[in-house]
Amino acid sequence: MNIQMKQRYIFSVLLLLCSACQQEEWAQPEADSSDAIRFAAPSITVEKLTRSTFHNAFPTGGTFGVLGYCVPYQRGSDTEMDWASGSAYWGNKSGNAFPDVFFNQAVTYDGSACTYNFENSGGPRKWYNTTDDAAATSPDSYRYTFFAYYPMDAFTVESPASATTRGVPKLTFTMPFTETGDVATELDDTQTSDAMVSVVYNHLRTTGNVGFNFSHIMTGLGFAVNNYNYGGDDETVTVKKVTLSGNFTRSITIDFSKNTNEDGFYTYSGTYPGTYAIYNNEEGLAVAPNSSVPLIGDRHLLLLSNATDGTYFGKDVKVQVEYIYGRQEKIATAERPSQFQPRAGVRYTAQLNFVGETFALNFIAADNEFWEDGGDSDVSIQ
């Protein structure tokens, strides 16, 4: 299996899990009507490979966007609805589908329940029913499909163009940094949100609340220091600064009109230049011989990983470490090892390993089962 197919498979599995999510019972506000569409408290997919994730519970106060579909247009018409096809499965009606249920609807989770204001009505939308929709044909058998994306304001709905326009969802997430600038510009990683998506296919009204099971589309990267030297204080490594710089991948587009294993299902575009300061302290972080610091800076960066063209985090991306060893100040730089192929939804640790005069950069998935070894072949020490 080639690299691109392997990456697509892993990312596709995350999204396919969204459609297979179980409906769970959560506390919900009482509906004004039994016909109201309600959303269950959202959950997040945590697999064996990705169990060390970014958000492991949906954030309280978080707002996600929703596109909802049910009754398609009649073939050849952009105004007449095909009420008899409301019960059709998504795959059989997606070609004529438009977001008749929700278009870029904001839904907020308050920690126990989801709320939204449908078209400024002051409350939720109703399921199709024969009282309000006289043309509806056996609406209890209608199948609804919902696409959700978080955070809502970080995504652009490329398709459909409006609430009345045909179109299967095409969503673009963009990092909060501009394409122009200089690599030396310091980037504020706290501006980056943990982007996630979810899909619920062919949901019946009788099933109850709609439950989204979100999957991460970003990659986490943290940094650790290991001092493998044995001896006295002269073997101490004092880390003063760690940076990650380059031209980073800026946007990802997910096109749900394509199959998950098809070229173009997800594409990446653009880069943004800059430098992330992982750790910066003039006094430095002293790492004694035969000891480790598991996570310097106390955080993981959230990055997009472009597996389609093999650039992954971006172009000319490198790690630079300023440190003191043997009373001498040194600078080491390293690029991403070719065998390190970061995957969506996985949190990695870049291990800064010191053995005598040798500096090695290794990568490990956070579940301690999937190792990516970079060795020291691409390391430069001054």
Ordered by where they begin, the domains of the chain are 41-214 (2.60.40), 217-368 (2.60.40)
Between the two ends of the chain, the Cα-to-Cα distance in Å is: 39
Q: Are 139 and 205 in contact (CB under 8 A)?
A: yes
% residues pLDDT > 70 (the chain): 84
pLDDT band for 378, please (50, 70, 90 cuts). very low
Confidence tier at 39 by pLDDT (50, 70, 90)? very high
Q: Name the residue among 136, 148, 124, 146 with its Cα closest to residue 204.
A: 146
Closest CA to 59 of 110, 25, 15: 110
pLDDT number for residue 199: 96
* Lowest pLDDT segment from 129-133, 157-161, 357-361: 357-361
Q: For residues 361, 362, 363 and 367, what is the CA-based torsion angle, rounded to 10 degrees?
A: -140
Contact by Cβ (8 Å): 67, 102: yes
> What pLDDT is recorded for position 224?
94
Answer with the residue of higher pLDDT: 86 or 35: 86
CA–CA separation, 37 and 121 (whole Å): 13
Q: How far apart are CA 3 and CA 305, in angstroms?
A: 13
Most confident of 11-25, 46-60, 125-139: 125-139
> Cα separation of 105 and 66, whole Å?
5
Please identify which residue in the block is written with the tokens 């005069």. 357
Q: What are the pLDDT digits (tens) for 254-268?
A: 999 998 878 888 899
Q: Mean pLDDT over all residues of the chain?
A: 85
Instruction: Provide the β-strand partners of residue 352.
Output: 225, 361
Q: Which of 332, 319, 327 is nearest to 358 (CA)?
A: 332
Residue 27, pLDDT above cutoff 80 = no
Residues 302-330: pLDDT tens digits? 999 998 888 999 999 999 999 999 889 99
Contact 166, 73 (CB under 8 A): yes
Q: Give 34's pLDDT tier (boundaries 50, 70, 90).
A: low
Query: HSE (CB half, 13 Å, CA atoms) of 119?
Result: 7
The string of pLDDT tens digits covering residues 215-252 is 889 999 999 999 999 888 889 999 999 999 999 999 99
pLDDT at 82 over 80: yes
Q: What angle do CA 193, 199, 205 make, to 5 degrees?
A: 130
Specify whether the CB–CB gap between 182 and 310 falls below 8 A: no
* Predicted confidence (pLDDT) per residue in 160-187, tens digit: 999 999 999 999 999 999 999 999 999 9
Structure confidence at residue 301 (pLDDT): 94
**Do 15 and 216 meet the contact criterion of CB atoms below 8 Å apart?**
no
pLDDT in tens, 323-335: 999 889 999 999 8
Structure tokens at 253: 């587009």
Query: Which pLDDT score, from 0 to 100, does residue 250 have?
Result: 97
Give pLDDT, residue 173.
Answer: 98
